[in-house]
Amino acid sequence: MKTILILMVISLFAAPAARAQSLVDPTKVAPEYREAAEKRRAEQLRQRECAQKADTAKILPRDRTAYLNQCLDALAAKH
């Protein structure tokens, strides 16, 4: 029992932390890069929207990339 507990603790520290990419804040970049930061933020918001749709639709991991690409294409076609 003690060995299992030790292995669990080690695996928690050995596993890389999965962190979501934070949204770009255009107000915190130099003025000459602000336009690019605004475009990047808009793209991040579109990606998050599609990821939330995939989560809601319970898309399987094997189908997720195709679903996200299709969703992003549909959003781009709207604009």
Domain locations in the chain as residue ranges: 22-78
Query: Would you give the DSSP letter of residue 57?
Result: T
Instruction: Give me the mean pLDDT over the 1-19 stretch.
Output: 57
Per residue in 14-41, pLDDT tens?
Answer: 555 445 678 888 999 999 999 999 999 9
pTM here is 0.68
- For residue 28, what pLDDT is reported? 92
Dihedral (CA of 26, 29, 32, 37) sign:
negative
Give dist(CA 14, CA 38) in Å, integer.
Answer: 36
Indicate the pLDDT class of residue 4, thresholds 50, 70 and 90.
low
pLDDT for 67 beyond 80: yes
